Amino acid sequence: MRKVILFVLVAAGTLLGCQHWTPEKGVDNFASKMKSDLNLNADQTAKLNDLTDSMKTMIKEDTTRRAEMREEIKGMIESPKLDTSKMTTIMKDRETRMSQHMDKLTPKVAAFHDSLDDNQRKKAAEKFEEFSKHWEE
């Protein structure tokens, strides 16, 4: 199950990092690829949709905070002395939000994973390997 959770997160991260897509489009593309490559049934599609809807909601909720964080960091970079305490606070805030996202997404990933048959899990593991290779390059 850990491989599937990592696959979903790495795959989504890979897609989200593409410059020509919005994060929401990246999630939609990821879901579309999963639906076609794994030949999902209606129940599995519903579970995947629930997961991707949650991901898109989190992206929208974080958009403002990410912009604020970039401005704060830019200001610190431009300053004569880096405020390490403030930088640590910003990074810990980001870490906390990521942890909260994981707490919300992990049960949805698990529900999707549980709905897959052995062949689909094998295909998902293969896709995970494909996406993982992109990180190694």
- Residue 16: the pLDDT is 47
Domain boundaries, the chain: 2-15+23-32+48-136
Q: Between helices 42-78 and 84-115, what is the axis angle to 10°?
A: 170
Q: Is the dihedral of CA 26, 28, 30, 36 positive or negative?
A: negative
Under the banding of pLDDT at 50, 70 and 90, the label for residue 134 is low
The model's pTM is 0.71
User: Which of 14-23, 57-66, 112-121 has the weakest average pLDDT?
Assistant: 14-23
21-71: per-residue pLDDT in tens? 788 887 888 888 888 899 999 999 999 999 999 999 998 888 888 889 999
